[in-house]
Amino acid sequence: MRLELVKRPQQSTLFSALSPFIAFGLTIVAGAILFAALGKDPIETLYYYFIDPLTETWSLHELAIKAAPLILIAVGLSVCFLSSNWNIGAEGQFIMGAIAGSILPVLFPDFQFWFVLPLMLIMGMAGGAAYAFIPAILKVRFNTNEILSSLMLVYVAQLFLDWLVRGPWRNPQGFNFPETRNFHEYAILPEIWSASGRAHWGFVFALVAAFVLWFMLSKTLKGFEVKVIGQSPRAGRFAGFSAGRMVVFAFLVSGAMAGLAGISEVAGAIGQLRPTISPGYGFTAIIVAFLGRLNPLGIVAAGLILALTYLGGEAAQISVGLSDKVVRAFQGSILFFVLACDTLIHYRVRLVRPAQKAEAAHA
């Protein structure tokens, strides 16, 4: 018995639509097995993972807070991945965006006007984009592998933030805690609907960004260029598209999105800089991008699901005593199922017995 793949003449539209759902279903089954193996009631644990966080208003707000950075980063990454540029350093661009955006409230705390916040957001995007420009220009000019350079820059960014908050940017009135001063009121991203919970405008930015990039990718020439270069660089050259310029464009877009996510997280959810400002959003966003099939609208749904696993992980820890470390293992397995199910889109999968194969050869 062996698996055999037969290429479909065309992509299967049925499986294009179904594959994320099959993948998610398989993840649920795998999760249930995992929970059972850890000695927990699988049904109850799954309930706390995926249903319980949706039952209360405040936790819906938390969901929006967690989903905002995931969606923002992932829609940016979709432009990269669709054009075959493997930016896996979004975590670093997130951090650099947060740092660049925090310059005003940290270094000029007396500079308090209404336009501080818009400036911060712009600087955050610029910071993330500038940091993403490094692997892009190295790839274009020196042919340097962008996967490795963008990933190495994540560690550099984390150490840079650590140095800032323990050194020059440490709060002078902070009792030596490694954190910056708290942002003043003009530097805080307001809550969307503060009467019901603390979700901030970052979630709205994420929805807008998803819509804008969806429009760009599916309705404009630029989006066509992204896809052509991604699928066939040669065809792209014949069409007169510049692959080098596309590298820079894709990295700048995804860097800016990650930077915006970073400054929104700091100005919205945290309110100051700390040594660690992200539970790995930049890496989880890779999973989000693929689960959303690199389609910005799909990514909105995928971002909400992955955000739910963060919340569900907390809920399951409190209610059934499941370790919060399980979340990352669970998230990692989602990507496997998504990739495996994507095979169904391009290929028919058949089980072949050796005897059958011999017969087929004779016939």
Partner 1 sequence: MLEAILLTVSMAATPLLLAAIGELVVERSGVLNLGVEGMMIMGAVTGFGVALMTGNPFLGALAAIIVGALFSLLFAFLTLTLVTNQVATGLALTLLGLGLSGMIGESFVGQPGVRLPRLDVPFLSELPIVGRLVFSQDMIFYVSVFLTVAVAWFLFYTKAGLTLRSVGDNHNSAHALGIKVVRIRYLAVLFGGACAGLAGAHLSLVYVPQWVENMTAGRGWIALALVVFASWRPLRVLAGAYLFGAVSIGQLHAQALGIGIPSQLLSALPYIATIVVLVLISRNRRLTMVNTPASLGRPFVPDR
The residue ranges that bind partner 1 (CB under 8 A) are 3, 5, 7, 81, 86, 88, 138, 141-145, 147-149, 151-153, 155-156, 159-160, 162-163, 167, 283, 286-287, 290, 323, 325-333, 335-336, 339-340, 342-343, 346-347, 349
Q: How many whole angstroms separate alpha carbon 260 and alpha carbon 258? A: 5
Q: How many whole angstroms separate alpha carbon 55 and alpha carbon 270? A: 24
Asked whether 319 and 48 are in contact (CB, 8 A), the reply is: yes
Distance of CA 147 to CAs 82, 93, 151, 250, 340, Å?
15, 14, 6, 14, 22
Name residues whose C-beta falls within 8 Å of residue 353's C-beta, 6 or more positions apart in sequence: 1
**Residue type present at position 301:** A
Toward partner 1, which CB reaches closer, 59 or 87?
Answer: 87
Toward partner 1, which CB reaches closer, 102 or 331?
Answer: 331
Toward partner 1, which CB reaches closer, 247 or 267?
Answer: 247
Residues, the chain: 363
CB of 49 to partner 1, least distance (A): 15
Toward partner 1, which CB reaches closer, 37 or 195?
Answer: 37
CB of 170 to partner 1, least distance (A): 13
CB of 156 to partner 1, least distance (A): 5
Report CA 276 to chain centroid distance, whole Å: 17
Q: How many whole angstroms separate alpha carbon 333 and alpha carbon 317? A: 19
Toward partner 1, which CB reaches closer, 187 or 287?
Answer: 287
- Ramachandran region, residue 308 (left: φ > 0; alpha: ψ -120 to 50; beta: rest): alpha
Q: Of 116, 24, 9, 101, which Cα lies nearest the Cα of 337?
A: 24
Which helix (H) or strand (E) segment is 71 a member of? helix 57-82
Cα Rg, the chain, nearest whole Å: 22
CB of 333 to partner 1, least distance (A): 6
Toward partner 1, which CB reaches closer, 148 or 270?
Answer: 148
CB of 307 to partner 1, least distance (A): 16
CB of 110 to partner 1, least distance (A): 28
| Distance, first Cα to last Cα, the chain | 20
CB of 314 to partner 1, least distance (A): 15
Q: How many whole angstroms separate alpha carbon 177 and alpha carbon 194? A: 29
Toward partner 1, which CB reaches closer, 64 or 258?
Answer: 258
Toward partner 1, which CB reaches closer, 140 or 199?
Answer: 140
Q: Is 309 helix (H, G, I), strand (E, B) or coil?
A: helix
Toward partner 1, which CB reaches closer, 10 or 55?
Answer: 10
Residue owning tokens 């059972």: 36
Name residues whose C-beta falls within 8 Å of residue 26's C-beta, 6 or more positions apart in sequence: 337, 341
CB of 347 to partner 1, least distance (A): 7
